[in-house]
Amino acid sequence: MQSFDLDKTDISKIKAALSGDDEQLKVILGEYHASEIAILFESLSKEDKQRIINLLDVEIASEVISEMHEESHPEELLLQLHPDKRTEIVEELDYDDATDIISQLEEHEQKEILADLSEDDASSIRNLLSYHEETAGGLMNTEFIRVNLNLTKKDAIEEIIRQSEEIEEFYTIFVVDDDNVFHGIVSLKDIIKAKGNVKITELVKAEVAWVYPDTDQEEVARLISQYNITSIPVLDKEMKLLGRVTFDDVIDVLEDENTEDILKISGVSEDEELSGNWLEAVKSRLPWLILNLGTAFLASSVVRHYDDTIKLITILPAYMTIIAGMGGNAATQALAVTVRRISLYDLTDSQAYRTVLKEFTVGLINGACTGAIVFIVALYFDSNPMLGLVIFLAMTGNLLIAGITGAGIPLALKRIGIDPAIASSIIITTFTDVFGFLLLLGLASHLLL
C-alpha cells in the first residue's frame, strides 16, 4: 500500500463492487484492512453494510464491527443481522469490544443477544456491562495473559504459548498468586533472557501502576500516558486481577475527551453526537441558548438604563458593538488558554494568581492598542477627540476585564470543584458585554454630557 489514506476512489470502488456479484465484492473487500472497511462503512447504506458483514469471514467481520465509530452505531447493525450470524460475531469479539457495542442497546435488546451466547460469554459480558462506560471497568478486557508467581521459566513459556492461542495481542504478562492476587508484571523478553530455570517470582516487576474498576477513564488515560505503558491492570479492593485496559483504548478516550472539551467551551452539551440529527442538536444547544438569553437581558438592561445618553449621543450604538465584540473575543482567548492549562497542569495558588496577573497585563496592552486604533477611526469619522478618548478608555477597560474574567472564572470554578470548561465562552462574554456597556455608556455620560 503506497498510501494508507482512504479517499473517493476507494468509496467508488466499493460502491461499484456492491452493484456486482458477491464473489467479486469479496475479492475487492479483501484488499482492505478491517479498520479501513469500518471507515468506508460511514459512506454506505444499512443494506450495504449488512451485506458486507454477512459476506466477510467472521474474524474480519467482527473486527470491522469492533472498529466502527460509536456514531456509526454498530449496535444497530448487529441487531439487523440474522441471530445466528449475530451470535457468531459476538462470540468472536473481545469481551470489552462486545460490551461497548451491546451497552448501547436497550435492556430487552441486550437480553435477547446475551440469551443466544454461551453461559461463559454471557456472564463475562454481563459482568462488564455492570460497570459505568467511562471507567476502567467499562474499558477493560477480562482476557489477558497471566502466569503464576511460582511457575518456572520453562512452564511459564509453555503456559504463555497456550494462553496466546485465545489471546493473540498481548504486550505485558500479568503475574498473580494462587488466589489471583496481582503481584506485578513480567515481559516475555525477560523470561526468555533469564538464565537457568528460575521462578517467575524472581523476574516479576512489582512497582507498577494499576487502577480500580471505578477509576475514571480520564485518570486511566493519564496514567497510561504518564508512565508510557502499553496496558494497565484493573484490580479489585483485595488486589485481585480483574482485567486490563490497553493503550489503544486510551487513544480513543483522548479523542473523545478532545471532542468534549471543544464542545464544552463552545456552549454545546458534551453528549451531542457530531453526526446527530437536528432534534438531538436542538435538545443539546437550546438550553444553553436560553441560559445565555437570560444573561443577554442583563446586558440589555444596562443599555436601557443609559437610554437618555444614547438619545443624546446617537453615534454610541455604532461603537457599542465594537466594544462588546472585542471584549468577547479577548475573553474567549484568555478562557481557551486558561482552561487548557488547567486541564494539563495542576496549578498552585501562586501560579493561578500569576495567570490572572498575566491576563490583566495582556488585556491592558491589547486593549490600549486596539483602543488606539478605534480612537483614530473615531477621530476620522466623527471628529470628536473627547468621544475618541471615551472609546479608548472603554476599550482598554473592557479588554482588561475580559482578561481577568476569562482567566479568573475558570480558575475560581476549579478551586471550588466545578469543571472549569463549563465557564464556556457563552457565560464569560456576557460579563464582557455588561462591563463593556457600563464602561462605554457610563464614561460617555460623564465625559460627553
Interactions with its own copies, residue window 290-349 (CB under 8 A): 290, 292-293, 296-297, 299-301, 303-304, 307, 310-311, 314-322, 324-326, 328-330, 332-333, 335-337, 339-341, 344-346, 348
DSSP state at residue 42: G
Q: Does 184 bind its own copies (CB under 8 A)?
A: no
Enumerate residues 120-179 that contact its own copies by CB under 8 A. Answer: 157, 160-161, 164, 170-171
Residue with cell 480513543: 252
At 152, is the secondary structure helix, strand, or coil? strand
Looking at 117-125, 196-204, 363-371, 385-393, which segment touches its own copies (CB under 8 A)?
363-371
Beta-bridge partners for 199: 152
Q: Which of 59, 38, 211 is nearest to 139 (CA)?
A: 211
Contact between 193 and its own copies by CB under 8 A: the answer reads: yes
Query: By C-beta, is 344 or 416 nearer to its own copies?
Result: 344
12 forms part of the interface with its own copies (CB under 8 A): no
Write down the least CB distance from residue 13 to its own copies, Å.
14
Nearer residue to its own copies within complex by CB, 127 or 225: 225
Whether residue 207 contacts residue 220, with contact meaning beta carbons closer than 8 Å, is answered with no
Indicate the residue among 83 and 297 with the shorter CB distance to its own copies: 297
CB atoms within 10 A of CB 324: 23
Nearest distance in Å: CB 386, its own copies: 19
Told to check if 33 binds its own copies by CB under 8 A, we report yes
Spatial separation of the C-alpha atoms in residues 203 and 198, rounded to whole Å: 8
**Residue 101 binds to its own copies (criterion: CB under 8 A):** no
Which string of DSSP letters, residue by residue, matches 190-255? HHHH--SS-BGGGT-B-----B-TTSBHHHHHHHHHHHT-SEEEEE-TT-BEEEEEEHHHHHHHHH
Torsion angle of C-alpha atoms 168, 171, 176, 182, degrees rounded to 10 = -130
Closer residue to its own copies in complex, CB, 121/272: 272
Smallest gap from residue 329 Cβ to its own copies (A) = 5
H or E element: which one contains 111? helix 107-115
Residue closer to its own copies, measured from CB, 115 or 289? 289
Q: Which of 240, 135, 253, 115 is nearest to 178 (CA)?
A: 240
Q: Which of residues 195-234 bind its own copies (CB under 8 A)?
A: 207, 209, 219, 223-228, 230
CA dihedral 270→271→274→275, nearest 10 degrees, is -170
Closest distance to its own copies from the beta carbon of 83 (Å):
29
* Contact status: 119 vs its own copies (CB under 8 A): no
378 contacts 388 by C-beta, under 8 angstroms: yes
396 to 425, contacts with its own copies by CB under 8 A? 425
Q: Which of residues 47-66 bind its own copies (CB under 8 A)?
A: none
281 binds its own copies (CB under 8 A): yes
Within residues 67-96, the interface with its own copies by CB under 8 A covers 67, 69
CB of 318 to its own copies, least distance (A): 4
User: Which grid cell is 448?
Assistant: 460627553
Member of 282, 376, 386, 447 binding its own copies (CB under 8 A)? 282
Give the three-state DSSP class for 340.
helix
